[in-house]
Every structure is written in structure tokens, then in C-alpha cells.
């Protein structure tokens, strides 16, 4: 009989925290600065400098730990992880090995297979490395330390996942939780969330773990799914040929859909961790932890419950809206202003999702304000503009956050409410299109559509199509 294999997956997820400054110095974490303009003696590893922990990093780490049911380590400290590589100016990364800030947590995920609990082994705080750029002209590399010292948390799961679907559900869950906390924007494609996949296979029924590999460079859910399938197959093929899996780090090439072993840095996976003498230990008391706990937001599950109670919108809409903290905030703030949950939800489900897709943006990137959004809904409700015009204005608002009221005014987009002007135009259209008029009178109902179109065109789109339709019927 053919052997059946089970995939065993654990994840190491790095998340860049949304602090204003780096973890151990007062340099800005802002993106897009010219190379090395956000650096100082501390984050470039100059001798004799003293790192001091950013209190906000600790708060975010504890907040994530509490939200993922971890126990918080009351006495914790930092260690040095030693390695030589030019992205790391100190020749060690400040991290936590012996006493990580959070341990023994879990999150529940939901897939087609039902609800499952995924264990979290630990969460630790550490610093990011600089960026290496290969110089095309000379055979050298260039280093930019703007990212050096940017705060990270690394969330290490237990090997509890069995397929790509569970991995994605777990990542979605982490992302949502952390976004709700405001601790990070968690963008895989921009690197503020990075997932390394530890994968091994074993025969179904076996309780022993097989030799695992670690897969890096996974920048999208799609890449993660493909890498899991690819690595599972590669390992099974090796085992079927009677060979064994080598424990190694592999890099995924998503364009070619293959992975290859990364050259180990002089095969020394010996980081010689030791306590960092520059950083004093952290002793957390109940008051601190309770203060962080009190600041926890309403998470997605609770929010969905409340939406079901408070708003008369479809469950599908609730899921999509609460799937992004930013969209949920926008929804609630706009409803607060215009009291039209159904209408707000419709605009989000329709035009907003369409434009997000078209512009290749995440819901977190939405920039228009609730005030403008509410104004647009009000303009359509009061029939100041018709639906076609509303969509046009919405797009302007989506792209540039224009004030819909001012925009409609400036562009002269108001519907012509003046009955006489409309009647006059309709009469002109009837006079100019005797053939369609004859068709309609002869029983061809569809002919009226053409006449409505002609009228709308003559009115430059600023009429209400329903009124035009009614008026035409009346006059014919």
C-alpha cells in the first residue's frame, strides 16, 4: 500500500511594531527616509553607546501576548545573539532567548475542518537589521541602517498546523488581532509581517516529528500556500527515494515556484547567546499588566456580535467590514454621523471593495474621512445627486478625499430639480426622436430606454433617471 503522509507546520512570525522610534534609541522608524538619515551611534553599533528600551515596545508585546492568551513573564531580560553579517553593525542582534516576554499562549482558528486551537510557544522582543543593497556598478554591497533597531516581536507557534489552509487562517488571525491592537499594520508585501514556515512530513499515525526545514522569503498568502505544497512534495519525494531530509534554511523563489537551500553563513548556526549587560532586567507587576489589559480593544469576534445586535446588515457584510480594523472604524464613525448603516455598508461592499481591488490597495490604506463619506450618503439620500454622479464623486473622494459637497458644487453636478427645465428637455427629446416615439406607442416598451438616455445626455447626467422615465411616460 502507498504510504500516506501528514504535513506538520510551525510558524515563526516577525511583526514590525508601530512605534514612532526604534527599540533602543530615539531614531525615527518612518519609512522612506534617504539612506542612513535615521541612524545614530546606538543603532549603528558604535562602541561605548548605551541602548535603552522603548517602553512602548514592551506595552505592545504584552498587549499581543494577552490577546493571544499567553502568560506574561514577570521577570524578563534581553540576550545577545552573535553573528557576523554587514546588516548587523554590532555583530550581535539584541533579542530574548532565556526569558521571552510571553509564553504558552494559543489562538483559535476556523477553517473548513472546524475550530482548532494553535499553540503559541513564545513571543519575544528583538531588533530588526539594516538593509543590504547590491551595487550594480561595482562588485560591492551597500548598507542602509535606517531599519536597524526597528522593533520587532517574533511569535513562535507550536507545530500545530497541518495544511496551508490552517496556516493562512492562523496568520489572518494574528494579523487581525495585532491590527486591532494598533501594534502593527502587518503587511506581508511590505515586510511589516514576515512568516517563516517550519515544515516536516511524517507517515500518518506516527507521533514522532520528521526532520524539518525552514522556508524564508514568503511575501504573500499565495506564496505561502505554494511553498507549503512545494516543500511537502519535495520532502516526500526524498523519503520515497530512501533519502533523508536535511535540516536547513531554504529560500522560496515565487516566480519560479521552487526553493533552494540558502548558503549557511560558514555553517555556524551557533549564536552563543548570552545576557546583554547593557540592558537592565524588566520586572513587571500586576498593575502594569492590568493597565495593558484594560486598554485592550473590542476584538473582531466581539465586534461581530455587536454588529449583529445593533445593525441591520447582512452577516457577509459584517465579516468583511470587521475583517479590517480600519474599515470597521470607518464604518462605525460614518454610521455615527449619518445613521444609515445599510447605506454605509453598501458603499463599502460595492464601490470601496471595487476600487481597493482596482488600485491594488488594502482596506488599511483607505484615506477618506467619515465626515466626507457621510456627506456623500446624505447628498444621495436627499437626491441632490443621482447614483451615477454619486459613484463619480465617490471615486474622487476615494482617491483624494475631496469634500463631496464642495466637489458637487464646483463641478455643477447637482440634479436639476427644476421641473420646468426637465419638462422642456423631455419635450425636445420627444420632438427630436419621432421613430422611438412611434416604436414606444406601437408597443415597444424598450424604446423608452433610448429616450431616457437621450434626456440624461441632454441634461449632462444631472437628472434623476426615475423622474425622467416617469415624465416621459406621462408625456407620451
**Contact residues for another protein, defined by CB under 8 A:** 19-21, 24-28, 34-41, 44, 52-58, 77, 82, 84-86, 98, 132-135, 138-145, 251, 260-263, 266, 268, 270, 272, 275, 277, 280-283
- Does 355 sit near Zn ion (CB under 5 A)? no
**22 or 232: CB nearest another protein:** 22
Among 43, 152, 227, 402, binds Zn ion (CB under 5 A): 43
Among 27, 66, 186, 224, binds Zn ion (CB under 5 A): 27
Q: Quick one: what does residue 268 bind among Zn ion, another protein, none, with the CB cut-off 5 to 8 Å set by partner type?
A: another protein
Is residue 231 within 8 A of residue 199, CB to CB? The reply is: yes
Element housing 116 (H / E) = strand 114-127
The stretch near Zn ion (CB under 5 A) out of 23-31, 228-236, 314-322, 358-366 is: 23-31
**241 or 263: CB nearest another protein:** 263
Compute the least distance from the CB of residue 126 to another protein, in Å: 16
Compute the least distance from the CB of residue 355 to another protein, in Å: 34
Distance of alpha carbon 319 from the chain centroid: 15
The stretch near Zn ion (CB under 5 A) out of 2-10, 43-51, 236-244, 461-469 is: 43-51
Please report, as residue ranges, which positions from 413 to 432 form the binding site for Zn ion (by CB under 5 A).
Answer: none
Compute the least distance from the CB of residue 202 to another protein, in Å: 27
User: Torsion angle, CA of 342/346/348/351, rounded to 10 degrees?
Assistant: -160
Q: Whole-angstrom Cα distance, residue 476 to residue 473?
A: 5
Contacts of 324 (CB under 8 A, 6+ apart): 179, 362, 363, 364
Q: Pairing between strand 258-261 and 249-253?
A: antiparallel
Handedness of CA 247, 251, 255, 256 (dihedral sign): negative
Q: Whole-angstrom Cα distance, residue 54 to residue 36?
A: 20
Q: Quick one: what does residue 84 bind among Zn ion, another protein, none, with the CB cut-off 5 to 8 Å set by partner type?
A: another protein
- C-alpha closest to that of 51 among 101, 126, 131: 126
What residues form DSSP beta bridges with 261? 250
Q: Quick one: what does residue 191 bind among Zn ion, another protein, none, with the CB cut-off 5 to 8 Å set by partner type?
A: none
The residue ranges that bind Zn ion (CB under 5 A) are 25, 27, 40, 42-43
Amino acid at each position: 500500500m502507498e504510504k500516506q503522509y501528514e504535513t506538520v507546520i510551525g510558524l515563526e512570525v516577525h511583526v514590525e511594531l508601530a512605534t514612532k522610534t526604534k527599540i533602543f534609541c530615539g531614531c525615527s522608524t518612518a519609512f522612506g527616509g534617504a539612506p542612513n538619515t535615521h541612524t545614530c551611534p546606538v543603532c549603528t553599533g558604535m562602541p561605548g553607546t548605551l541602548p535603552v528600551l522603548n517602553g512602548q515596545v514592551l506595552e505592545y508585546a504584552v498587549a499581543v501576548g494577552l490577546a493571544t492568551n499567553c502568560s506574561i513573564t514577570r521577570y524578563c531580560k534581553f540576550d545577545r545573539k552573535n553573528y557576523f553579517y554587514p546588516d548587523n553593525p554590532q555583530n550581535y542582534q539584541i533579542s530574548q532567548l532565556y526569558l521571552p516576554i510571553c509564553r504558552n499562549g494559543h489562538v483559535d482558528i476556523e477553517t473548513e475542518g472546524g475550530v482548532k486551537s494553535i499553540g503559541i510557544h513564545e513571543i519575544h522582543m528583538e531588533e530588526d537589521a539594516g538593509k543590504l543593497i547590491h551595487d550594480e556598478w561595482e562588485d560591492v554591497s551597500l548598507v542602509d541602517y535606517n531599519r536597524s533597531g526597528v522593533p520587532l516581536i517574533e511569535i513562535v507557534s507550536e507545530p500545530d498546523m497541518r495544511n496551508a489552509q490552517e496556516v493562512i487562517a492562523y496568520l489572518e488571525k494574528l494579523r487581525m488581532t495585532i491590527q486591532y491592537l494598533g501594534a502593527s499594520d502587518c503587511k506581508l508585501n511590505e515586510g511589516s509581517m514576515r512568516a517563516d514556515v517550519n515544515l516536516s512530513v511524517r507517515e500518518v499515525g506516527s507521533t514522532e516529528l520528521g526532520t524539518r526545514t525552514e522556508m524564508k522569503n514568503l511575501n504573500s498568502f499565495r506564496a505561502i500556500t505554494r511553498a507549503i505544497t512545494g516543500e511537502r512534495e519535495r520532502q516526500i519525494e526524498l523519503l520515497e527515494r530512501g533519502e533523508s531530509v536535511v535540516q536547513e534554511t531554504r529560500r522560496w523563489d515565487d516566480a519560479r515556484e521552487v526553493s533552494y537551500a540558502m548558503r549557511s553563513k560558514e555553517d555556524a548556526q551557533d549564536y552563543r547567546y548570552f545576557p546583554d549587560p547593557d540592558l537592565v532586567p524588566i520586572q513587571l507587576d500586576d498593575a502594569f499588566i492590568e493597565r495593558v489589559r484594560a486598554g485592550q480593544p473590542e476584538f473582531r469576534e466581539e465586534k461581530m456580535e455587536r454588529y449583529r445586535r445593533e445593525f441591520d446588515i447582512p452577516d457577509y457584510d459584517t465579516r468583511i467590514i470587521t475583517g479590517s480594523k480600519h474599515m470597521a472604524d470607518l464604518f462605525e464613525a460614518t454610521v455615527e454621523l449619518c445613521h444609515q448603516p445599510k447605506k454605509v455598508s453598501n458603499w463599502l461592499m460595492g464601490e470601496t471593495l471595487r476600487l481597493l481591488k482596482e488600485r491594488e490597495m488594502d482596506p488599511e490604506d483607505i484615506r477618506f474621512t467619515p465626515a466626507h463619506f457621510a456627506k456623500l450618503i446624505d447628498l444621495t439620500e436627499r437626491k441632490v445627486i443621482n447614483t451615477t454622479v454619486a459613484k463619480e464623486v465617490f471615486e474622487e473622494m476615494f482617491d483624494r478625499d475631496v469634500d463631496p459637497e464642495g466637489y458637487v458644487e464646483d463641478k455643477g453636478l447637482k440634479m436639476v430639480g427644476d421641473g420646468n427645465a426637465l419638462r422642456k428637455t423631455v419635450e425636445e427629446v420627444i420632438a427630436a426622436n419621432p421613430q422611438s416615439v412611434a416604436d414606444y406607442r406601437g408597443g415597444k416598451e424598450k424604446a423608452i430606454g433610448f429616450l431616457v438616455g437621450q434626456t440624461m445626455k441632454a441634461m449632462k447626467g444631472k437628472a434623476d433617471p426615475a423622474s425622467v422615465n416617469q415624465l416621459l411616460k406621462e408625456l407620451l
